[in-house]
Amino acid sequence: MNFKPLSLYNTASKSKQEFQSLTPGIVKMYCCGPTVYNYAHIGNLRTYIFEDFLRRALEYAGYTVQHAVNITDVGHLTSDADTGEDKLEKGAKREGKSVWDIAALYTEEFMRDWERLNLLDPTVWPKATDHIKEQITLVQTLEGKGFTYKIDDGIYFDTSKFPRYGEFAGLDIENQEAGIRVAMAEGKKNPTDFALWKFSPKDVKRAMEWDSPWGVGFPGWHIECSAMAMKHLGETLDIHCGGADHVRVHHTNEIAQSECATGKPFATFWLHGGWLLESKEEGGGKMSKSKDEFVRLQTLINKHYDPLDYRYFCMTSHYRNYLSFGWSNLKSAKEGLTSLRKKTAPLINQVTSIESDLAHEWRDQFTSAICDDLNLPQALGIVNKMLKDINLMEGEKGALLLDFDQVLGLDLGKSDAPAKESFDTLDRELSSLLQERNEARKSKNFARADEIRDLFKEKGYVIKDGPEGAVLEKIQ
Ligand code: AMP
Ligand code: ZN
């Protein structure tokens, strides 16, 4: 098998490099997954879409991808400096549910978004709470090698024992020390030291806690990714990905603890997706869950967008660049995808094989764009130009579209149907919308509640509020 040469920007070397896998033909890829205490916002989803393009591009280039995406269901505190509330406990308090129910609910919601966006399922979805033993073992290895110390609130990693700490992110440790001193837990030796295991507070039974050789508590956030990646993919990965916000703390810490434990590089390629920003029209700034209202995939669906409109929108900018989200930008993307579907529909029924030199040239152009650090905006331009080529046979155009869609993931082969909205998902949509309306009423957001009531009307339902909560009745 000939693998197409693929050039990828590696955060570790800060340059584009030709990709080589450690085992010929096989790529071990780990992507940091969601913290399941709330819905994913469309910024999070942008990162997963970029990782899906990467996975598809690797497969298009001929590789088999062993792919892990973790579910963080414990240990992620609201502050990166190992202080603050556990995000799961925060979600549980907010909704009056148990932490386990919160994790189950938002994992399910996440999986729904995943499917609606046409993201390929990873080989494995490891959950942090299923890997407590592995995390403890890894901390013990670090302890045995002298990289840890104990303070009142937990077991910490001593970053001064890893001389390359901070190199990956180009951190200026001196200035960082001054910057985060305020948030330092008492007894920490260096501001950049991070918790590997946190103790439960004395006389408090936490909702999620486990026995360990050091006392009852719970794992720090970073250790889970190292432990699960090593268990499912091995000590050195080919590719590790995440959003750009993970470079400075989370990935820097993953590298320190993994490399000190094994003495080997943790990953050869590190890829990071740029942020989704809110456009000025939406208030500006990084899309983030800490804002009161954030835009999620369901918000787009409620406004009659197809999830694949958002996928297409993400292709309009290079994955490393910022992408500015606003309703007018999304509308343009929707128009772009609709127009592509219109052109595609008649071609799909007359697909032939790709034979002519001209068709091969178009395929080469598309492949070169994809293999040049996933240049999706350029690849989209090539698709549109190819469709206009009057010298190319219609059957070959159809064949090329199906071939390209292995990477694009736009369901172009089914272009007569609006992509991801089938009747069985509609029922689930309605119940989730109903839930959102109940929440809106509870928080006295009557404008949103009324908006949802009108949406139901459009879909042919009337909402009846009763003692058992709201119920739906079909308009006859
Ligand atoms: P979280 O669920 O907060 O752990 O984040 C899941 C993924 O989304 C991580 O890879 C983050 O780096 C990424 N992420 C968070 N905010 C944004 C954003 N505004 N734009 C793009 N990616 C983001
Ligand atoms: Zn991670």
Q: Which domains does the chain have, with CATH numbers?
A: 7-274 (3.40.50.620), 277-414 (1.10.730.10), 426-474 (no CATH)
Q: Which residue has the higher pLDDT, 446 or 465?
A: 446
Q: Which residue has the higher pLDDT, 203 or 30?
A: 30
Kindly list the distances between the CA atom of residue 268 and the CA atoms of 6, 235, 374, in Å, as whole numbers in the listed order.
Answer: 14, 11, 18
Given this model, what pLDDT does residue 474 score? 61
Ligand sitting nearest the alpha carbon of 76: 1
- Band of pLDDT at residue 462, cut at 50, 70 and 90: confident
Kindly report the average pLDDT of the chain as a whole number: 89
Mean pLDDT of 339-356: 93
Which is the closest atom of ligand 1 to the Cα of 274?
A: 21
Given this model, what pLDDT does residue 1 score? 61
Which is the closest atom of ligand 1 to the Cα of 242?
A: 10
Long-range CB contacts (< 8 A, 24+ apart) of 44-49? 44/243, 44/289, 45/113, 45/117, 45/297, 45/310, 46/273, 46/275, 46/276, 46/314, 46/323, 47/241, 47/242, 47/243, 47/273, 48/114, 48/117, 48/119, 49/117, 49/119, 49/310, 49/311, 49/314
Distance CA 126, CA 129 (A): 9
Which is the closest atom of ligand 1 to the Cα of 47?
A: 22
Kindly report the protein residue whose alpha carbon is nearest to atom 9 of ligand 1: 243
Share of the chain above pLDDT 70, in %: 87
Which is the closest atom of ligand 1 to the Cα of 31?
A: 10
Ligand sitting nearest the alpha carbon of 272: 1
Q: Is residue 363 scored above 80 in pLDDT?
A: yes
Kindly report the protein residue whose alpha carbon is nearest to atom 15 of ligand 1: 44
Given this model, what pLDDT does residue 476 score? 54
Given this model, what pLDDT does residue 290 score? 63
Which is the closest atom of ligand 1 to the Cα of 72?
A: 4
For residue 50, which amino acid is it? F
Ligand 1 pocket member 246 (CB < 6 A): yes
- The residue whose CB lies within 8 Å of the most ligand 1 atoms, and thus the one to mutate among 51, 114, 245, is 245
For residue 418, which amino acid is it? P
- Band of pLDDT at residue 185, cut at 50, 70 and 90: confident
Q: What tens digit of pLDDT does each residue of 411-458 get? A: 999 855 454 443 334 455 676 677 677 777 777 777 777 778 777 777
Q: Is residue 334 scored above 70 in pLDDT?
A: yes
Q: Is residue 67 scored above 90 in pLDDT?
A: yes
Ligand sitting nearest the alpha carbon of 240: 2
Pick the range with the lowest mean pLDDT from 165-174, 408-417, 443-452, 458-467. 458-467
Ligand 1 pocket member 242 (CB < 6 A): yes
Kindly report the protein residue whose alpha carbon is nearest to atom 14 of ligand 1: 44
Q: Which residue has the higher pLDDT, 100 or 331?
A: 331
444 Cα–ligand 1 center, Å: 29
Q: What tens digit of pLDDT does each residue of 370-396 get? A: 999 999 999 999 999 999 999 999 999
